[in-house]
Structures are given as C-alpha cells and as structure tokens.
Chain A
Amino acid sequence: MTPDTILPMIFGRIGLDSLPFVPAILNPSTSEFIAAGAAGVVFLGAFIVLGVVTWFGWWGPLWRDWLTSTDHKRIGIMYIVLALVMMARGVIEGALMRVQQGVGLDGGFLSDGHFSELFSTHGTIMIFFVAMPFISGVINYVMPLQIGARDVSFPVLNQISLALTAVGAALIMISLILGKFSTGGWPAYPPYTGLAFNPGPGPDYWIWSVGIAGLGSTLSGINFAVTIYKERAPGMTLFRMPLFTWTVLCTAIIMVFAMPPLTVATATLALDRYLDFHFYTNDLGGNMMNYVNLFWLFGHPEVYLLILPAYGIFSEVIATYSGKRLYGYMSLVVATMSISVLSFTVWLHHFFTMGQSANVNIAFGIASMFIAVPTGVKVYDWMATMYRGRIRFSVPMVYATGFLMLFVIGGLTGVMLANPTISFQVHNTLFLVAHFHNVIIPGVLFGLLAGYHYWFPKAFGFRLNTRWGYITAVLWIVGFCVTFFPLYVLGLMGMPRRSVSFTDPSFEPLTLIAMGGAMLVLMALSSLMIQLWISVRDRATAQVPLGDPWNGRTLEWSIPSPPPEYNFAVIPQVWSRDAFAADKEAGIAYQEPETYDAIAVPSNTSIGMVVCIGGVLLGLGMVWYMWWLAAVSFLGIVGAFIVRSFQTDTHRIIPAAQVARDHRVWLAQIAASPEVTRAQECSPANRGRAMNERPEPSL
C-alpha cells in the first residue's frame, strides 16, 4: 500500500485545495478573497465561542442546563439562537448579492460561480435554518404554555429534532471552510446538481444538510400535533384554543405531510449521485422534471407552514395590544384550515413554464388564486379586531402594521403570478424575487420578530428595550421597501434573477437603490443585536417576574416569568376562550390551589448530542466519500438508540412541597405588587401584574 491509496481511504476526496485559503493564494481575486474571508470569520467565530465558554468555565452549565435538557422552553430558546446566528449569515449574503448587482453593470467583483453559491446558500439558509428553526423555537416555547401543558408529548424526540436541525446548520457552515457549496439554487434542480454537471461536494452538502434537517422537521411536526391533540388542559376544547395554537396545529400537520416529498426528492437525488441511479439524469430514461414536481410538492406547503404560525403570532399580538377579544375567531380557524388544505393543491404554479398542457396550468392557477380568499378573510379579521380597540402602538404592533400593509401587496403580486399567462412573462425575473421576499419578510420575519418581542419577557423575565425596538422595526420596514420594490420594476423591465451581472445600463439606477436598501436591512440586523445587548445590560429596570407584562389573554401569561421547568404548579382548568383574560375579568386569577402534587419531569439525556455529533460526522463522511466515517457514525447513532432503549429510569420527581413553596412565594409577590395600568406598560413600574382597566367592549 502506498500513501496514494491509503490517503483517499482515510480522507476521501478532501484535498488541500478544499480549503478556501489555498485558491485565494494560488489564484488571487476579490471573489476568492471574500470566500477565504468568510471561512476565516467562521473559524474565528467558532474559536471565540469555544474560548469564551472555556474561559468562563461554562462547559458544565452549558451541558447540564442546555445541551442535554429536554425542557421544551430551553429547546425553544436554543432553536431561536441557532436561527439568529444563521440569519446573520443569510442577511450578509443577501446584502453581498445586492452590492454585486448594484455594481454589476458589465462585471462586478464576484465570479459567477461564487454568486451562484451565494444565492444557493442564502435561500437554503433562510428557509431551512432561519425561518424553520425560528418557528420551531417559538412554537416550542409558547404552544405548550398556551394549552396548559407541562411539556410536549415526546420531550426526548424534541431534543433529537433540534439536534437534526443543528446538524444541517453545522454542515452548511462547514461548507464555508471545506469545499464549495452547491450552485444549483435552494431547490437544487438537476441537472445543475446532477453528477454529470457538478461532481464536486457542493450538491452533496445541500443533500445532507437539507435532508437531515428535514427529517428533524418531520419529527417536530409529529411532536407538535400529538401535543396539541393529547396534552391540552382540562376544559380546553379545540375551539377554546388560542389562535396561535390553532395555526401551530395546522403547521404541524403540514410538516407531517409536506416534509416527506422533500425526503423523497433529496433521497432520490442522492441515489442518482451516489449509486448510479437514473431518476433525474439526461440519459437512460431519467426525468428531471419529476424532481421539480417532487420538490415543489414539498416547497409550496412549506411556505404556508412558515406563514401560518406568523398569522397566529399576529392574531395574539393584535388582540392583546388592542385590548380586545380577537374578532371572528371561528372564521380565522376555518381560514387557517382551508389554507393548509389548499396549500397542497397548488404546487404546479412554481413551474408553469415546464411544458405541460394549458389545462393543467389553468387548474393549478385557479387553485392558487383561491388561497387569496381565506387570507383576505384573515386580514379583515385583524383590522376588525383593531377597530374600536384601545390600541397601544407597541413594537410588535409596528411590525403588525407593517405586515398588514406590505403583505397585502405581496399577496396581490402572488395573485398576479398565479395567472399562467403573466407567469410566462415574468418567471425567472427579479419580479418573482421581489414577490416571494415580499411575502416572506413582512409575513414570516416580521411575525417572528413581533413574537420575539412579545414573548421575550416570558422567557427571560425582562422586557426588551422599546426605543431600540422601534428603531429596529422601522429599519426593517423601510429597508425592506427600498430593497425589494425596485426589484418588481426591474423584473418587469426584464432583468433575470440569479444573474451575476447585466449589460443594460437602464437597470443600474434601480439596482443601486436596492443596494442602498440592503444597507438599511444590514443596519436593521445590527440594530436588532444592539437592542438585545442594551436590553440585557439594562435588564434591572425592565424586570417582569410576575409574568403578565402586556395584560395578556392566554394561559402563558398566568405563570411567572421565566416559568418554572414544570410550567404550571397545578394544571389549570379552562372554562372559555382567552382563559386567562376570563379569569382576570372574573377576579379568579392567581388563586392558591387546595393541594399540590409531585411532578414528574423527564430527566436530562445526552442522546440529542450523540445524534448531533454523529450526524455531522455522518454528513461529512458522505459528502467527502469517507465511507468508514459515515459507517462508524451511522452505526454509532443506531447503537446509542438501542442502548438507550434498555434504560428504564427516564424521569425525575419534583416533590409537592417544593412546588408548593415556589408557587406560594410567587403568589405572595403578586399580592404585594400594585397593578399597573397600560399607560405604564413600558416603564420600570411594570413588573408583570396587569390592571384590568375596563370591561370587554361589545364588538
């Protein structure tokens, strides 16, 4: 055996030139310097994080309280941290693309391959590793509290879902420092991602990171759906659930049924690339159009999966800050259900131009337009909720207002695109890019940021800084408009999407404006970080340990902030919709129960970390053809599950006396604290005990 045969057996196809620093030295250009710089940032970031954790001796607490925790609240927070880190990368990539197109008349500074990598990673990251984990995080934190549950149905499975999502995110980060990512866009269409066109590791990175994270989302969906079906507090019938929980139920069902097509698409693409299958190849009877079909069978329900929880968040936010019951609860529920079923009937509108007959196009076009109906119902319901309410123009309401106005525009351009004849004209132009950013940013992102602001005090016991909150919200809204409205016009002028440069000088003024908008979005991102920093620094003046800073209406506000790990000292009895508001109205909130019981909570487990580390190694082994590594890590994961299945002691008991003591301390604080009015909502006086200022209005 010579080194020439042994090295590939160990390292697969990793070579020195897989490190981006090497091409940057051998073949210096701006594009390569940017790639090497990004790799350096990842290295440096990882190094700093590890260093800080070691320096402060946080490994123990990190392991005990977070990484091995099965508490849905901690898992939720970890999801959101992951989403925010990935969002930083995604936004920077987006801004980089806008700068490239701003100066892209006859050139620019990025190579076309690098630009393709950027739009592929940007899309993949924003959908799978920002929107999905952010949503899973908010759902994880809020939904069990809203239904009066102690945890999700399967806490360990929940940890594993997070681990699988983290594996995907880790693989995509590693692709910055080892090899290159796919250039096939976020849907990874063959033949761009086929072995014949791109034999490199890029498409394999995409396959494994998206495939593994998608598996995690399927499991999350199962967990959320079963939790809502089986863990509701007594008296909480389906039609007494808060609207956010309703949207979560529909989202969970979409996760269960829409992730399988993604699994099929990624798995079959992998078979094509690894085992010489011919599902999508040009030759030997492959049919790449079936990939497009399968991908969008997932992809379209996916966008509703993202937007529905955001609708739920806006429903909660608008009702709370209008001081009113949600208008048209039943119509909102029915609209949510119709949207989730309709979402499975429209996937073809993503490929009207593929070549099927006009009859097929028309059927799917009409189905797509139908979705505007339930969505329109929702918009009217939200406006009617505000009508004659006592609106407080808080930060989440700024996002909600921005959402209502901008989302309607995005929705209307969607109805335009649902018309096949128009789609034929503007498909593959920036018009489309503007449309989907116009629904995803004001819809999903604003919703999540509103929810972040709204529930942050519940999770950490202090309010976020309001001043910086307004600055951030305004920057997001203005930045979005300046970046993406020019793209509508550019698209109608005929500027194609995904092109690294252009030759028509009439595009330039608008691409420059969009570039300016991207700078505003970057400022919004920085301002979001500054807000978090300042809020943590000044937390002493914004404490809300009593739990109800916004005069909330649903059960999550009826417990301390942050909640104890078992959430509810006693499981609440629910009598009506908006259970906590009804209790406050009737003067029966904050009562001491007659008896306390001991509570069993699931004990910590390291299975999630085994899956996480094993999954990353498995992915790397497959991407780089290190078969031994893939086999060892796969068997390791399976073995760990089998070993764990022989473990019988998986719970730990919190004694009734401890529950009673903690609950009584909190009740005593409540009794001793003055009730604050809504006028004092953002002052240090607001410690989380809200005054019921007036009876419910009739509308």
Chain B
Amino acid sequence: MTQFERKHPGLNLGSHHGAAHDQAEALVFGFWVFLMSDLIIFGLMFATYITMQGPMAEAGGPGPAQLYDLRSAWIQTLLLLTSSLTFGLASLAMRHKHGVAPVVVPLVVTLGLGLTFLGFELHDFQGMLAQGAGPGRSGFLSAFFGLVPLHGLHVTAGCIWLMVMLAQIAVFGLSDMVKLRLLRLGLFWHFLDIIWIGIFSIVYLAGLTG
C-alpha cells in the first residue's frame, strides 16, 4: 500500500508533482502544528462548556432540553460531512491531475454546503436569541455561545479562504502555489469536521439525552 512517499499529514500530492511535493513538507507540517494548537483552544472551550452545566450555571434560564433542535443539528451534521467528502474529491482530482474542472466543481459544491451549514446554524442562533436565550442570560448560555459560534467562525473563515482559492484558480490555474494552499485548506476543512463531531456529541446529543 505504499503508493507514494508520505511527507506530511493529510493527502499528499505525490512525487509526480515535483517541487510542489517537496515544498509541501514544511508548509503542511507547519499548518498541522497550527491546527493542533487550535485544537487546544477548542478543547478548553469544550471543557468550559462541560463545567458550566447544571442549575447553578443556568441561573434559572432555559437549559439544553428547551433550546436544542435535534433535527437541525442532524441536518448540519450531514451538510458538513458531505462537504468533507466533496473536498476530498477535489483533493483527489488535484493529486491525480484530472484537470481544473474536476477540482473546481467539487470545491464549489463544498462552498455551497458550507454556506448552507452556516445558514442553518445562524437560524438556530436567531431562534434562541428570539426566546431571550442569548449569552447574556446565563453562564451556561455564555459557554454555549462561546463554543458553537467559535466553530461557526472557523467555518466562515474556511468559506472566505475557499472563495479566495477559487479566485486564485481562476487567475493562476492549478499552479504549485495554489495546490499547496488547497492542501492546507483541505486539512482545515476536515479538521473542522472533526471538531463538529465533538459539538454534536457533547452539546446536542448529550444535551438532549434523558
């Protein structure tokens, strides 16, 4: 199964990409270290959320059972998971040099899925704010609004980055520079999907259990 020399985490371009494959080593490793650092931020926000459960932190305000919508969480999960797959298809097409269109089409689909995800998430938040369940209501809601929108902000940053990359593909084609950036954006995107596993499990599913 050693199809190609692995130089860094995530999908490798492979030696048939020449210099870009060599340059990828330090760049992608560096980005990977950054993601691990970011993971600590998320981990601490998760831990803060866990410590801010219960009547004391809810301060008489609404709790998970009154606020969370399982159906919406399920849709958001599917959207993100599918976008991970479509990004993977784009990465594979890039690695196997299938041309520009097979890379761009799944990327556009990924962007669409990402934006739809954000739409659902914002809709959920709006519903909560309309019930008076904003971060100003209780410590528990502060922890919720510190954690889940943090992931949403990351997805927003990912979408902006993806738009910039689509523009760069239009300007430069699949140049080495563009390919190296897409590799890192791919890592970012898959990483956010892993964070989402934590969010739907710890926040939504555990919150709605029992």
A–B direct contact (CB < 8 Å): yes
Chain A residues close to B by CB (< 8 Å):
153-154, 218, 221-223, 225-226, 229-231, 256-257, 259-261, 263-264, 268, 271-272, 275-279, 281, 283-287, 290, 294, 297, 642, 645-646, 648
Collect the chain B residues with CB atoms within 8 Å of residue A277's CB. 135-136, 142, 145-146
Contact with A along B125-161 (1 / 0, CB 8 A): 0000000001111111111011000000000000000
Collect the chain B residues with CB atoms within 8 Å of residue A287's CB. 51-52, 57, 139
Is A230's CB under 8 angstroms from B140's CB?
A: no
Collect the chain A residues with CB atoms within 8 Å of residue B141's CB. 278
Collect the chain A residues with CB atoms within 8 Å of residue B177's CB. 648
Collect the chain B residues with CB atoms within 8 Å of residue A261's CB. 40, 44
Q: State the Cβ distance, A282 to closest chain B Cβ, in Å.
A: 11
Is B139's CB under 8 angstroms from A278's CB?
A: yes
Collect the chain A residues with CB atoms within 8 Å of residue B45's CB. 264
Of chain B, the residue at the smallest CB distance from A226 is B30
Q: State the Cβ distance, B141 to closest chain A Cβ, in Å.
A: 8
Return the contact of B40 from the options A226, A260, A283 (Cβ within 8 A). A260
**Chain A interface SS verdict (over half):** helix
B171 within 8 A of A: yes
CB-CB under 8 A for A268 and B172, given A218-B37, A226-B29 = no
The 9 closest A-B pairs by CB, nearest first: A285-B139, A285-B59, A260-B40, A276-B136, A285-B57, A277-B142, A230-B26, A226-B30, A285-B138
Q: State the Cβ distance, B209 to closest chain A Cβ, in Å.
A: 21
Q: What separation, in Å, do the CA atoms of A261 and B38 have in the docked complex?
A: 10
Is A278's CB under 8 angstroms from B40's CB?
A: no
CB-CB under 8 A for A264 and B135, given A222-B37, A285-B56, A286-B142 = no
B33 within 8 A of A: yes
Is B36's CB under 8 angstroms from A256's CB?
A: yes
Collect the chain B residues with CB atoms within 8 Å of residue A153's CB. 26, 30
Q: State the Cβ distance, A67 to closest chain B Cβ, in Å.
A: 24
B121 within 8 A of A: no
Is B37's CB under 8 angstroms from A260's CB?
A: yes
Q: What separation, in Å, do the CA atoms of A357 and B145 have in the docked complex?
A: 30
B100 within 8 A of A: no
What are 14 A-B contacts with C-beta separation under 8 Å?
A153-B30, A218-B37, A222-B30, A222-B34, A256-B36, A268-B146, A278-B135, A278-B138, A279-B139, A284-B138, A287-B57, A290-B52, A294-B48, A648-B175
B75 within 8 A of A: no
B58 within 8 A of A: yes
Give how many A-B residue pairs fall within 8 Å (CB-CB): 108
Is B30's CB under 8 angstroms from A645's CB?
A: no
Q: State the Cβ distance, A474 to closest chain B Cβ, in Å.
A: 42
Return the contact of A279 from the options B48, B59, B172 (Cβ within 8 A). B48
Choose among B40, B57, B61, B164 the residue with the greatest number of A CB atoms under 10 Å from its CB: B40
Is B57's CB under 8 angstroms from A256's CB?
A: no
| Number of residues from B at the complex interface, CB < 8 A | 40
**Chain B interface SS verdict (over half):** helix
Contact with A along B167-183 (1 / 0, CB 8 A): 01001100101000100
Collect the chain A residues with CB atoms within 8 Å of residue B57's CB. 285, 287
Collect the chain B residues with CB atoms within 8 Å of residue A223's CB. 30
Q: What separation, in Å, do the CA atoms of A175 and B111 have in the docked complex?
A: 43
Q: State the Cβ distance, B108 to closest chain A Cβ, in Å.
A: 19
CB proximity to A under 8 Å, residues B1-47: 25-26, 29-30, 33-34, 36-38, 40-41, 44-45
Of chain A, the residue at the smallest CB distance from B43 is A260
Is A276's CB under 8 angstroms from B29's CB?
A: no
Collect the chain B residues with CB atoms within 8 Å of residue A294's CB. 44, 48
Collect the chain A residues with CB atoms within 8 Å of residue B41's CB. 260, 263-264
Of chain B, the residue at the smallest CB distance from A230 is B26
Is A271's CB under 8 angstroms from B146's CB?
A: yes
Q: State the Cβ distance, A378 to closest chain B Cβ, in Å.
A: 27
10 new A-B contacts, CB < 8 A, other than A153-B26, A222-B33, are A218-B37, A230-B26, A256-B36, A261-B44, A263-B41, A277-B135, A279-B139, A284-B59, A290-B48, A646-B171
Choose among A259, A263, A264, A268 the residue with the greatest number of B CB atoms under 10 Å from its CB: A264
Collect the chain A residues with CB atoms within 8 Å of residue B52's CB. 279, 285, 287, 290
Collect the chain B residues with CB atoms within 8 Å of residue A154's CB. 26, 30
Collect the chain B residues with CB atoms within 8 Å of residue A257's CB. 36-37, 40
Q: What separation, in Å, do the CA atoms of A287 and B26 have in the docked complex?
A: 41
Q: What separation, in Å, do the CA atoms of A648 and B141 have in the docked complex?
A: 45
Q: What separation, in Å, do the CA atoms of A294 and B143 have in the docked complex?
A: 14
Q: What separation, in Å, do the CA atoms of A277 and B51 have in the docked complex?
A: 16
Choose among A278, A642, A645 the residue with the greatest number of B CB atoms under 10 Å from its CB: A278
Of chain A, the residue at the smallest CB distance from B175 is A648
Of chain B, the residue at the smallest CB distance from A219 is B34
Is B138's CB under 8 angstroms from A268's CB?
A: no
CB-CB under 8 A for A226 and B26, given A268-B48, A277-B136, A285-B138 = yes
Of chain B, the residue at the smallest CB distance from A641 is B164
